Chain A
Amino acid sequence: MNRHRSLYISIAVVVIGSIYILRLFQIQVLDDSYKNTAERISLRKQTIYPQRGLIFDRENKLVVFNEPVYDLMVSVPIRLGGIDTNSFCGVLDIDRPEFDTRLAKAKKSSYRGKAVFMKNVSNRLYARMQERLYEFKGLFFEIRRDRNYKYNSSAHVLGYLGEVSKNELGTQEDDYYEQGDYVGKKGIERYYEDELRGVKGEKYFYVDIHGVNKGSYKEGKLDIEAIDGHNLGLSIDIDLQQYGESLLNNKMGSVVAIEPKTGEVLALISSPFYNPANFNIQNRGSYYNRAIQDPTKPIFNRAVSAPYPPGSTFKPIMALIGLEDGAITPATHFGCPGYFRLGRRTIKCHPHPFSTSLERSIASSCNTYYCNTFKNMMQSDKYANTEEAYISWRSYLESFGLGNKLGVDISSEFRGWLKEPSFYDQMHGKGRWSYANIISLSFGQGELGLTPIQIANLAACIANRGYYYTPHVVRQIENVDAIPEEFRTKHFTKVSAKNFDAVIAGMLAVTQNGTGAGVAIKGINIGGKTGTVQNPHGKNHSAYMAFAPVEDPKIAIAVVVEEAGYGATWAAPIAHLMIEHYLQADSVTESSKMYLETRLKEANLIPLKYRSQRDTSLYGN
């Protein structure tokens, strides 16, 4: 009987062994879920961030480069137990409660996957931590690239990066961004985001229970190399830009300089400005709030966003429209008694000889001349009524790039103010308004708002005698044959080339014996037009528009200095110095020029009401 029992025991051994082998067959061969689970647990994908494209200036000087930022990450927050908390806190220079808060936060954001423990760790801390990282299993650094800058300059052109927002994440089409990624928020960083960002890479590897890398997956066959972003070449001349910034220091205003033949922006300044390095990822946190509280609005890009009435700088355009439309001829004279009578009221002019030609009207900035021109046009037989005439006038202006966004390659451009006729219908009643109601438009006041870049573009149109290219600040994109089509297309104005001669002659006269003659530059023929813009909120804005040299224009420029006074006092000399600097950079040796330069650089034209609240540290460091 007992021998049978031996057999039974043997059978039991074989049966149990077979059950186990079958069970193993089931979980190892038939069931795939364990394989997937194993990979989910121990396989990690790491994103390799590409180098963002570098940015160079017109002369190929490096302007913007990348600087690594280190985020201290914890691989698996719930498994961060095996470290010596005391020495870890010691290295990081935090106390225990802070450690606990940070870990709790990491756990909350991701239970099993990686989470941020400390963002933007300083270089010093990174170096110290890196040395001892082997002691702290499950912690690692994720390296991202922040921007840094060779020059404390051009902040408004360059813009800045920021973490991608929920909204941006939700609306993206190509699923490029993940939470925490950096994306261009302003300036060309935003406009050229697709060119600058490059292509992310991927790396697959196994991790252990603490999240420590245990070797690559399939010998790296699935890994993807990151491709760096395209470098950009600016049309900005960083030297001219910095020079202009020094002239605009302690002023509110803007300078835009354009190369008329190409539409390339040579300088684009909005003042007050800030140090772009203060607005990179690492620093913006501490500067941003101070910047928005500053009443001089240093973040606001006046050059493309601030609408100013052009004032008298508008007169050359009025002349061009009058000539083209037949309201005047180059020989037209209007008498100016010092005012323009409009029923019971008068529009004041300023002292100049009684009879005014077209040329002299520009040179001496005669209001009466343009009131008459505008009146002629608005009352012309060509048009059935004032509204029709106004629509025609408006369409001339649109052909000069006014009333709409120019389409520059910097974010937050404003289209300015150029009212539809319906605006006046609403104000005065349909058909119940005439030239008298809108007469101030003729000398650049009233319901008219031009951004500095639009004014500069007007100067470029005149310099080109009737066309412009959309102004742009990037002239080269690495590995791309050409800049976007829209910057290579000529836009013609509705004013024919022949009508420009008289106006240009007038603008030349401005700097020779007109309102801008006092700050003329020897050896350069500049066509200019001063403007003193009435400002209901304070002192007049000082404005100026110019191009040079008249015979072969290489630079067109607009300058606005807020609440500064006469155009000829501030805006004109700034424009002239910049023209000279750009055209013959080393000729400012004359003592009178030196004096002028010093006077401009040192003048503080910030209105008194703002001075105490200004935060000058934004420009520092």
Chain B
Amino acid sequence: MTSAITLDDVGIVLGGLRILEGISLDVRPGEFLVVVGASGSGKTTLLRLIAGLSRPTQGRILVGGEPVAGPSRKVAIVFQDYGRALLPWRTAAGNVALALESVGTPRAERADRVAALLAKVGLARHADKYPSQLSGGMQQRLQIARALAQGGWVLLMDEPFGALDALTRQGLQDEVLRIAAETGLTVVFITHDLEEALYLGDRVVLLGSHPGRIEQTAAVDLPRPRNQLGTREDPRFLALRRELFGHFAGHAA
């Protein structure tokens, strides 16, 4: 089977600084891959490279077997700073519609699609609210709905829950897992939280800093659907956490 995403010896130098070096990675179709790294490990840059928002200075990136030459509609991205990524002058429905307009969904179908997408992320009752009237968690749900509206099959998520409180964050983790399972999307998820990585991922990639390179890759063979209590108490979860923590802590310090 061909890979959904392939990175082949990818590196990038920005402003004379080597941000990423020698990144080689294959993401299977439908895989939930989580990249964990401390701040400064270039994990956001990695995501921007896959999204086609930045160009690598070395190596090549393929999505669906084709070289990435720029942003593509098959790749959707959810940014960390939902407050800046949503259009404040558009309602929740309007923000989702933005993606539908851009991919050319016929006007007649938009309202139904918007309603379905908002329902999928639990915002059905908030369609007419502006982002400023929504909580942080709801704004992030909205951004996810907009990303889904794009109709791609790769979903990139850049520390999407980093700014949310613990409870909201856990709710959204389960929601993203459910959506990924329902849609069969290939997901690349960035986080600095090792436990979040293990809870979500089929595979976890540890990114070291200065320059960012792959330190270790671990398959997470925990049963799905995952469960906030059961999964986190599973001996395999704890063993992986212990194994990876050493690597991780060494670089985070």
Do A and B belong to a common assembly? no
Contacts from A to B (Cβ < 8 Å): none
Contacts from B to A (Cβ < 8 Å): none
